[in-house]
Structure 1
Amino acid sequence: MDYEEKVRQELENWENSFYKTPGLLEKASKKVGDKINAIIPAKVQNTITETVKAIVRTTLFGAEYMPKRMVERSLTLEQADEQARQVISLYQKIAAAEGAGTGAGGILFNAVDFPALIAIKMKLLFELAHVYGYSTNVFSERIFILSLFQLTYSQNRKRSMMLNRFRDWNNEKLQWSSDAEYYKDLDWETFQKEYRDAIDFRKMLQLVPGIGAVAGAWANYSIVEELGGFAINGYRIRRLADNARYEQWE
């Protein structure tokens, strides 16, 4: 079995996992998210939504997350996957250190952790784009990065639809230009709630006295690992589609 065939099998298994019954962690996270949403005042909800908006705005229009790494256009898919795993491992360590520091600092420091963790994850996604040969100078690639972020924290029923967009990204990307329709049309409330629901259970442990530092490190490490796995598979889908298109031209 060649590497691309192996990847196709892994992608099929990965997609099939979306249709499995939610596990205990997912159910617990959803319950925690529902309870938190019920008690958080509207003013706080709005603040969180605005924070997410600001980070998305930076992703689309800023240079803050632009990696120093050059765009790797000559790597095979296998080589890109290997480099991607190395990059993810580095960012897991960075996120774990940040989570340990804020976890040890109590509730006020945990408030700082929310935007800091998203920033770490966005920097990771920008770097992975270059690993797989896609330049983040291109506006549609930034849309793809946000789509990967959204895919990771969406409910399973939305994921299949998003993956179909990834397979057809060469046509999908034609609709995205710098007029930022994506930014204006996104349902911000749903976006931030899905993200928060997906990580709440892990992050809540960070507030438990005595274990905050350890829990914060573990939460951030596992959250970045999860995002990295989704990103690898998202870019695998695109690379396989690109390779198939190039073979048709030859």
Structure 2
Amino acid sequence: MNEYEVNVFEEVQEWKRRLIRRSGMMNRLSKKAQVKINEWIPEKVHEMMTESIKAMVKATLLGSQLTTNKDQANGLSLMEKDELIRKKIAVYQKTAVVEGAGTGAGGILLGLADFPLLLTIKMKFLFEAAAIYGFDTRKYEERLFILHVFQLAFSSNEIRKNTLTEIEQWEMRKKELVEMDWRKFQQEYRDYIDLAKLFQLVPGIGAFVGAYANNNLLKTLGETAMNCYRLRLLQKAPEL
């Protein structure tokens, strides 16, 4: 093991500590309000939203699977893979910014189109991340892992802690995890982005809000994906 891998292991441990740190008061109050709103929504509406997002995600998974270069990082060291993923994050941030500004400038109708477009950008990025770190997304468990990374990036404290545990124990537990909890998946994602994206629907400021929010969402996803795959590659503290 080289010095770079030792440093990366320490970075991942620090990232984990930050990840499970308790959310701020505003985030906790916002989550409580969203939980209350979800309780008011009829069960049939929840079921419809869950099935819609499940279908949407599965469609983007298939599309991303077909368009990702799976051999782009063959033979690269961990340092080179990290450099490549940082470049990919920057590219996808720029793509998300353009998409957010465009749909935000269009007001409510185009703002509604932002959800599936941004979801597609995020899933495509996650397939790129998997390929860069050498994981084969043709395998079902790797596509399931991608969904767990996504959930880890965009969820509340309690769900985040549970998801991180599943990711840390992935090699032991991946055969037991047959399917995502799609209800939890869609609800956590919507609750996470609702506040960030709300003002994107307002004419005049929608473009700025959309660009800013999308940039931060891709930054969060990029950091999460990078460290999740590093975590799988460096299960134990390396020795010099």
> How high is the TM-score relative to the length of structure 1?
0.83
Partners of 1:234 and 1:59 lie apart in 2 by 21
Question: 1:2 corresponds to which residue?
Answer: 3
Tell me how many residue pairs correspond in the alignment: 237
Corresponding residue to 1:202 among 185, 193, 196? 196
Unaligned 5+ runs, structure 2: none
Alignment deviations for residues 172-196 of structure 1 (CA, whole Å, 9 cap, x no partner): 33446xxxx31xxx33222211111
Question: 2:69 corresponds to which residue?
Answer: 69
Query: CA contact under 8 A between 1:32 and 1:200: conserved in structure 2?
Result: no
Residues 1-250 of structure 1: matches in 2 within 5 Å? 2-23=3-24, 26-27=27-28, 29-30=30-31, 33-34=34-35, 36-37=37-38, 44-58=45-59, 62-71=62-71, 72-175=73-176, 181-182=178-179, 186-241=180-235
Partners of 2:94 and 2:41 lie apart in 1 by 31
Counterpart amino acid of 1:2? E
Q: Alpha-carbon deviation of 1:84?
A: 0.6
Dislocated runs of 4+, deviation >6 Å: none
Partners of 1:8 and 1:151 lie apart in 2 by 19
Among all aligned residue pairs of Structure 1 and Structure 2, give the percentage whose two residues are the same amino acid: 44
Query: CA contact under 8 A between 1:95 and 1:221: conserved in structure 2?
Result: yes
Alpha-carbon RMSD across the aligned residues, in angstroms, is 2.7
Q: What's the secondary structure of 2:18's corresponding residue?
A: helix
Q: What's the secondary structure of 1:241's corresponding residue?
A: coil
Counterpart amino acid of 1:21? R
Counterpart amino acid of 1:74? G
Partners of 1:145 and 1:194 lie apart in 2 by 16
Partners of 1:208 and 1:24 lie apart in 2 by 26
> How high is the TM-score relative to the length of structure 2?
0.86
Alignment deviations for residues 13-62 of structure 1 (CA, whole Å, 9 cap, x no partner): 222123433125523642563465356565654443222111333356x2
Query: CA contact under 8 A between 1:96 and 1:221: conserved in structure 2?
Result: yes
Partners of 1:215 and 1:28 lie apart in 2 by 22
Pair 1:65–1:35, CA change in 2 (3 A): farther
Query: CA contact under 8 A between 1:29 and 1:198: conserved in structure 2?
Result: no
Partners of 1:35 and 1:47 lie apart in 2 by 19
Q: What's the secondary structure of 2:110's corresponding residue?
A: helix
- Which is further off, 134-143 or 11-20? 11-20
Unaligned 5+ runs, structure 1: none
Counterpart amino acid of 2:87? Q
Counterpart amino acid of 1:55? M
- Which is further off, 150-159 or 225-234? 150-159
Pair 1:210–1:42, CA change in 2 (3 A): farther
Query: CA contact under 8 A between 1:148 and 1:231: conserved in structure 2?
Result: yes
